Amino acid sequence: MCGRTAQTKNSIDSAEVMLLGSLQNEKSRKGVSLKKLGESNTSSCEIKDNFNLSPGMMSIVFCKELSVDKDESNSKTAKICRQEKVWGIVPRTGTKKSPLPEGPSKHFSHMMFNARSESLYQKRTFRDLVTRGNTCVWAIDGFFEWKQPDKNVLSKSKGKQPYYVYRKDGLPLLIPGLWNSVETGRQNTEGQNEILQTFTLLTTDACAPVQWLHHRQPVFIWNCNLAFEWIMNPNENLVHEMSSLASGVIKKDNRLVWHPVNKLMSNVKYRNADCTQPVKIETVRSVQSFFAGNVKKKDSPKNKNSDQNEKNLTRGKLKLDAELCCTSSQIGHKTNEYTPNVALKQTKVQSSGVQKKRTISNFFLPKPKKSK
């Protein structure tokens, strides 16, 4: 499902260069030209950046336009041009008695701003559009998807977290679509019947890299030759090929990147440029993280052996010191250089020819003066 995108003049101009390169590389495409927006009679207004584009809004698509040559042959020449159309197919025509409703609501009717590629030829509305050659290619900077945040996410506002998905190399995403033209049942300012131009995009199963975000995605055209063929010579096999290539992308060949964006863009009225800018998601530290710094690392076998050897040496030294202490006390030595602290209680001193054991309290009493 794709219900929100971003489209700027830069992505449209880049897509035009990509399609032009495809035309120049194929000799069989002589006679087909690329017509700029300013040269088209159907659309002549200025392109404006839209960082939060939703169904019911005007957008630019590339489609086929047939023109009759002025020579005697009156042959038709195909041109790829840029035209303005409203996102969200409107299949039926309005009448004077029952005109189409004004506003974007009609473009959300029956969720026809997306068309499933798997069943494109099974639905009469879409099948007839392909048969008539009403195909187009939509160039966008990226698209948005929403996902419920994890429980450890800190957020001042409730609701799902939006993510912005786009190409790694910065080029626009090319998406195949269908367009339709109907009368609204009203008249324009010039007194002519008002014509409404609408379009929809093709979707498929999500590829492996973005399945965590949503189970559906737009059909991305990674080969510009396929984009040209979809505009000029659409057919069922081509739909299957484009859909398979888009949904079959594996993680190691992934060309898409994404990041979380400001939740304010969830409102369609929010159109600021920061709609596509990344934001940082703060999370609550888990209980385990507080003890992560106190966890001792496992010693290697080499370190364990060295520690054990050191313990054995310490025990052997204490044992030797105890034996020496005992021996020196038996032979009446006055001092004992090897007596450890643990043996101080057992140290014997010579006083008036009688050996007495010194207690702990004796160490804190002043030493008696020697008689002269």
In a domain, 364, yes or no: no
Alpha helices for 135-285 (secondary structure H): 224-232, 236-247
**DSSP type of residue 103:** S
In a domain, 104, yes or no: yes
Segment 201-209 mean pLDDT: 94
The residue with greater pLDDT, 151 or 131, is 131
What is the four-CA torsion angle of 10, 11, 14, 15, rounded to 10 degrees? -150
Question: H or E stretch including 83?
Answer: strand 76-87
Question: Does residue 353 register a pLDDT over 70?
Answer: no
In a domain, 79, yes or no: yes
**Of 283, 262, 260, which Cα lies nearest the Cα of 147?**
260
Note the pLDDT of residue 22: 78
Question: H or E stretch including 5?
Answer: strand 5-7
Residue that finishes a domain, picked among 253, 269, 289? 289
Question: Does residue 77 register a pLDDT over 50?
Answer: yes
Local confidence band at 25 (pLDDT 50, 70, 90 cut-offs): low
Note the pLDDT of residue 365: 63
Note the pLDDT of residue 188: 87
Tokens of 69: 């040559």
- Are 86 and 215 members of one domain? yes
- Are 285 and 304 members of one domain? no
Q: For residue 282, give Cα distances in angstroms to 144, 260, 287.
A: 20, 11, 16
Q: For residue 299, give Cα distances in angstroms to 187, 302, 311, 312, 313.
A: 84, 8, 16, 18, 20
- Are 199 and 119 members of one domain? yes
**DSSP type of residue 169:** T
Question: Does residue 369 register a pLDDT over 80?
Answer: no
Local confidence band at 315 (pLDDT 50, 70, 90 cut-offs): low
Collapsed DSSP state (helix, strand, coil) of residue 257: strand
Find the domain containing 204 and state its range.
5-289
* Contact call for residues 57 and 50 (beta carbons, < 8 A): yes
Collapsed DSSP state (helix, strand, coil) of residue 299: coil
In a domain, 266, yes or no: yes
Local confidence band at 108 (pLDDT 50, 70, 90 cut-offs): confident
Question: Does residue 185 register a pLDDT over 60?
Answer: yes
Collapsed DSSP state (helix, strand, coil) of residue 59: strand
In a domain, 369, yes or no: no
> Cβ-count burial of 19 within 10 angstroms (0-12 exposed, 13-18 middle, 19+ buried)?
buried
- Are 320 and 255 members of one domain? no
Collapsed DSSP state (helix, strand, coil) of residue 321: helix
Residue that finishes a domain, picked among 238, 255, 289? 289
Segment 272-297 mean pLDDT: 73
* Contact call for residues 184 and 96 (beta carbons, < 8 A): no
Task: Report helix, strand and coil shares of the chain as percent, to nearest 5.
Answer: 35, 30, 40
pTM of the model: 0.72
- H and E: helices and strands count for the chain: 6, 17
Residue that finishes a domain, picked among 243, 269, 289? 289
- Are 191 and 312 members of one domain? no
Domain count of the fold of the chain: 2
- Are 172 and 199 members of one domain? yes
Segment 345-360 mean pLDDT: 50
Half-sphere exposure of 277 (CA within 13 A, CB side): 7
- Are 324 and 250 members of one domain? no
| CATH number reported for the structural domain that contains residue 138 in this entry | 3.90.1680.10
Cα 322 to Cα 318: distance, rounded to the nearest angstrom: 6
Collapsed DSSP state (helix, strand, coil) of residue 65: strand
- Are 20 and 57 members of one domain? yes
Note the pLDDT of residue 47: 84
In a domain, 372, yes or no: no
Collapsed DSSP state (helix, strand, coil) of residue 73: coil
Range of lowest pLDDT (33-47, 105-119, 123-137): 33-47
- Are 351 and 242 members of one domain? no
Segment 200-208 mean pLDDT: 95
* Contact call for residues 77 and 69 (beta carbons, < 8 A): yes
Buried b (16+ CB within 10 A) or exposed e, 58-95: ebbbbbbbeeeeeeeeeeeebbbbbbbbbbbbbbebbe
Angle between helices 9-25 and 224-232 (to 10 degrees): 90
- Are 265 and 347 members of one domain? no
Question: Does residue 102 register a pLDDT over 90?
Answer: no
Note the pLDDT of residue 232: 92
- Are 273 and 334 members of one domain? no
The residue with greater pLDDT, 351 or 97, is 97
Q: Give the strand pairing for 193-205 and 114-116.
A: parallel
Note the pLDDT of residue 75: 61
In a domain, 367, yes or no: no
Question: Does residue 304 register a pLDDT over 90?
Answer: no
- Are 214 and 311 members of one domain? no
Note the pLDDT of residue 250: 85
In a domain, 284, yes or no: yes
